[in-house]
Amino acid sequence: MISCIKGTLTQISDGCALVENGGLFYEISLPSALAERLKENGQIGTEIEFKTIYYIEAGDKKSSHYPKLVGFTDVIDREFFSLITRVPGLGVKKALKSLVLPIRDIATAIETKDSAALSRLPGVGARLAEKIIAELHGKTAKFGLAKTGEALAKATKKAPSGPIAGEAIEVLLQLQYKKAEAEEMVARTLDANPKVTSSEQLISLVFRMEQERKQVRG
């Protein structure tokens, strides 16, 4: 059982971290938002410690089973993940993609039997949401008490399309935003303002919404 790996973070790509320790390189699967934060915070090349879960990934009938590692930087995150993956039908890969809300919010939904909130998590749906509540209700209260927390996985959204959206995204790219950031900002603005008629109007609304988000975050 490998429960912790400490070493140099040498690479992050496609939701996987590569950690070097004593000349050995360990590949560790990470939730997408955690991977992105580590990359953006400049932690590649620095020493890091991952709290890990060791599991066996089953292949198809013609292939072998493979040992895998999934990692977190917080032991509480690992504990919660280990708990939810005990629910039948919620395997490691699906669970990694489902963490688009902070763990405290997911735990609160379980403890309050809010199946609607759980069913909106990627890959969950109504039937699995009810199963999660049946299996875990009464076991996740402490996770719901966390004071702070960020979502561990990033929700994947379809990139906004159309000439107005495309022009607005191009403007944001010129302003040094990453493509994923630009698409997310435009998509969020269009969701709230579907009747936008020009890219200039859209950019103004993007600016306004980003200012409001900054004020909310303090």
Q: Which of 128 and 193 is assigned the larger pLDDT? A: 128
Looking at the fold, whether 3 and 62 belong to one and the same domain comes out as yes
Query: Of 53, 73, 93, at which residue does a domain stop?
Result: 73
pLDDT at 148: 72
**Domain count within the chain:** 3
Domain boundary among 15, 42, 73: 73
Indicate if the pLDDT at residue 86 is higher than 90. yes
The verdict on 81 and 137 lying in the same domain is yes
Structural domain contains residue 42: yes
Whether residue 60 is predicted with pLDDT greater than 70 in this model: the reply is no
This prediction's pTM: 0.71
Same domain (yes/no): 111, 175: no
Residue 4 belongs to a domain: yes
Among 150, 152, 206, smallest CA distance to 182 is for: 206
Three-state DSSP class for 127?
Answer: helix
* CATH code, domain with 32: 2.40.50.140
The string of DSSP letters for 119-168 reads: HTSTTTHHHHHHHHHHHHTTT-HHHHT-S----SSPPP-PPP-SHHHHHH
Residues 79 and 69 in one domain: no
Of the residues 133, 156, 179, the one at which a domain ends: 156
pLDDT (tens digit per residue) in 159-216:
677 899 999 999 999 999 988 888 888 988 887 788 899 999 999 999 988 888 777 5
Q: What is the pLDDT of residue 181?
A: 85
Q: Decide if 140 is inside a domain.
A: yes
pLDDT 10s digits, 31-58: 999 999 999 999 999 999 999 999 988 7
Q: Are residues 116 and 48 in the same domain?
A: no
Domain residues for the domain of 91 are 75-156
pLDDT given for residue 178 in this prediction: 87
Mean pLDDT rounded to a whole number for the chain: 90
90 and 18 in a common domain: no
Asked whether residue 118 falls in the same domain as residue 93, the answer is yes
Amino acid at 197: T
Verify that 7 and 69 share a domain, yes or no.
Answer: yes
pLDDT of 62 reads 62
